[in-house]
Structure 1
Amino acid sequence: MGCFLGLRFGNRRDTKKIGAAVAASDGTDDLDRRNEKDFDGSNGCARQYSWSEIEKLSMNFSQIVGSGGFSTVYLAHLSGSSIGAIKIHCQSDYLHRVFKQELHILLQLQHDNIVKLLGYCDNQDEGALVFEYVSNGTLQDKLHGAGREITKSSSTGTVLPWRKRVAIAYQLAQALQYLHEKCPLQIVHGDIKPSNILLDEQLNCKLCDFGFAKMGFSSAIMPSNNRRKVLMGSPGYTDPHYLRTGIASKKNDVYSYGVIVLELVTGMEAFCEGRGQGQLLTSIIGPILKIMIAGGDECSPMKVAEMVDPKLGGDFEVKEVKAMISLAALCLGQSPSLRPSSAQILQTIEENIPSISLLCKQQKDLMV
């Protein structure tokens, strides 16, 4: 499937070849052509740039700070000493529609746990998205070492602490609740995974990459009849029900969220090619989850502790681990209708994680 490609592209000079390769494997029917219009930044937050301004901000695309299958991210030098990040999609008709769709969605969003769109360029042949710069890498980096590590001089240490892991799970659920339930046109992200979760200096999470997102429905989108349909998601995070049926819904994001909770608890990757021919984390942990859930309160603290990331060195609360594992099991349920909503996820965390309960109380007290 085209959306599972892991290609990396260095710059825009090779985009014609790249676009052809992507178009050969990816259909375009999954994109709403009605969104292919010019945007005026009417939300008052995002500035519209010319392409020459984008070139100037990026110093002619001189410093790459990230890359993926379909785009490259460059450092942007904004006014004063401020910096940002400029995302450039590789050129093809399909990817230009991806850009249009992502821009259309980003212009609707404003949430502390979603990366902020500062500006954009939407010329006829050129497109760019200018974001706030989130300086501490991704959750993928921090959990699995795929990039910069937290330095020993950092107040958080070299290992992502348990309390921060729980806070990230809570913040991500807040972002999902905003997308699923609080946006006027409800949104399914479609590609929830650690590499799409940026972390700031305080390790607060910022959800990014809305290239697969779908907007404007309350329950589900039925698949099209076109055989070249583009599937959402990434290996290890994609809802099996969606893979079987092609029906997109909010519960696809909830499934992916459950996988991330397992990663936060265990420190294991969702999909590892090194395990034989490749094995899913859900396949490894699934049988253990069933035993633990069946055992209920009788499940021994030792059994619970055995599932936790050994890098934490025992610095965690067993009660909180059990709550997180139980939450993951609910999110990973085979039937989407039985999975919790994002609001129910938040309620579960608030009621079962003391550190989050205290934080919520403090926030409510400040609002009084």
Structure 2
Amino acid sequence: MGLRNLFRCFVSTSDQVADCDENNKYSWEQIKKWSRNFSTVIGSGGVSTVYLARIPGFGLTAVKIQLACTERLARIHDQEHQILVQVQQHPNIVKFVGHCDEREEERALLFEYASNGTLHDKLCTLTWKTRKMIAFQLASALQYLHGMQIIHGDIKSSNILLDQHLNCKLCDFGSAKIGFTPMVLPPSSPKAIIGSQGYVDPDYLKTGLVSKKNDIYSFGVVLFELVTGREAFSVEKGELLTEIIGGPLVGVEELVDPRLRNDEGLDLEEVKAMVSMARMCIGCSMIRPSAKEIVASMKHKFHIIS
């Protein structure tokens, strides 16, 4: 199971999660008990595994166990924890439940359950109204993060969870950066690259410079996915979605996900506006819109967004 399935298909009887703060620290024995000795694996990635747990007062919860056997891995975990504690005031960012760092070799982060899985897995079933709302909510979450000088670093459809009402819940801050420090390790080393195939800003790949413009590029790719219903990168064809539809604004009707053709709520003017915005986001980094400008534009051009 790949990284995109880390938080896939969470099923719970309730999306209710209590408020948390920096002091929500649990013991390893507590987590072990609540997860029934880590008996149910939800997903796994390169250095982490996610388990199902039932925490008293919270209900079903996702427990991400991450290796911390090196200084670098421990630092990644600690920074993700630090960022999660800071960003809990936005409704479209996944709710942080707690953590455990008492074991040197592995650490735990606990999150709310999102009962409708990920945008990547659910996209083909969503109406146009829901898709444009998710786009707006994601832009709003980015505006909030960038206002706090936080770069997410891995915006993609599989890092967008959907709650019981299909609201966006941005997750996975393992690649996030605090502050706009421009230079990271040269991207010639695979381990230095942040982001995912199909979503990574080409300017970042060329220069190694990390900025909020990288998030805006990835956001543009997600907009293309919402319009077309296609994946950002086709493994079978070796094609990038941005290469297929990133050209001049012609034939917008042909880009629309065929599953939306009979959607009574489909508004082609809104589709054109979203495609235009997506192309601006993946364009020259110097003239890409900010998240704040994107939110303002969406409020103006999309119905139901106030």
TM-score (normalised: structure 1)? 0.74
Counterpart of 1:233 in structure 2 is: 195
Question: Does structure 2 conserve the Cα–Cα contact (< 8 Å) formed by 1:188 and 1:249?
Answer: yes
Question: Does structure 1 conserve the Cα–Cα contact (< 8 Å) formed by 2:67 and 2:107?
Answer: no
1:121 aligned partner, one-letter code: C
Question: Does structure 2 conserve the Cα–Cα contact (< 8 Å) formed by 1:9 and 1:69?
Answer: no
In structure 2, the CA distance between the partners of 1:8 and 1:340, relative to structure 1 (3 Å rule), is closer
Question: Does structure 2 conserve the Cα–Cα contact (< 8 Å) formed by 1:46 and 1:117?
Answer: no
Counterpart of 1:165 in structure 2 is: 131
Task: Report whether the alignment pairs 1:133 with 2:113.
Answer: yes
Structure in which a larger fraction of residues adopt helix:
1
Task: Report whether the alignment pairs 1:317 with 2:283.
Answer: no
Task: Report whether the alignment pairs 1:55 with 2:32.
Answer: yes
Question: Does structure 2 conserve the Cα–Cα contact (< 8 Å) formed by 1:116 and 1:132?
Answer: yes
* Superposed counterparts of 1:318-337, under 5 Å: 318-333=268-283, 335-337=284-286
1:286 Cα offset (Å): 1.8
Instruction: Name the SS of the counterpart of 1:48 in structure 2.
Output: coil
1:142 aligned partner, one-letter code: K
Count of residues in correspondence between the two structures: 287
Give the Cα separation in 2 of the matches to 1:203 and 1:164: 7
Give the Cα separation in 1 of the matches to 2:228 and 2:133: 16
Give the Cα separation in 1 of the matches to 2:115 and 2:5: 21
Give the Cα separation in 1 of the matches to 2:219 and 2:5: 28
1:83 Cα offset (Å): 1.4
Counterpart of 2:169 in structure 1 is: 206
Task: Report whether the alignment pairs 1:281 with 2:241.
Answer: yes
Deviations 1:89-116 (A, max 9, x none): 1353132222112111111111111111
Task: Report whether the alignment pairs 1:191 with 2:154.
Answer: yes
Question: Does structure 2 conserve the Cα–Cα contact (< 8 Å) formed by 1:73 and 1:87?
Answer: yes
Give the Cα separation in 2 of the matches to 1:81 and 1:291: 48
Kindly, what percent of the aligned residue pairs are identical? 53
In structure 2, the CA distance between the partners of 1:225 and 1:252, relative to structure 1 (3 Å rule), is closer
Question: Does structure 2 conserve the Cα–Cα contact (< 8 Å) formed by 1:180 and 1:188?
Answer: yes
Counterpart of 2:300 in structure 1 is: 351
Give 1:82's match in structure 2, choosing from 59, 67, 90. Answer: 59
Deviations 1:284-334 (A, max 9, x none): 1123xx143xxxxxxxxxx3221100011342101100110010011011x
Larger radius of gyration: 1
Counterpart of 1:264 in structure 2 is: 226
In structure 2, the CA distance between the partners of 1:169 and 1:313, relative to structure 1 (3 Å rule), is same
Counterpart of 1:116 in structure 2 is: 95
TM-score (normalised: structure 2)? 0.88
Instruction: Name the SS of the counterpart of 1:237 in structure 2.
Output: coil
| Structure 1: runs of 5+ lacking an equivalent | 11-42, 145-158, 293-302, 361-368
Task: Report whether the alignment pairs 1:216 with 2:179.
Answer: yes
1:168 aligned partner, one-letter code: I
Instruction: Name the SS of the counterpart of 1:118 in structure 2.
Output: strand
1:67 Cα offset (Å): 2.1
Task: Report whether the alignment pairs 1:72 with 2:49.
Answer: yes
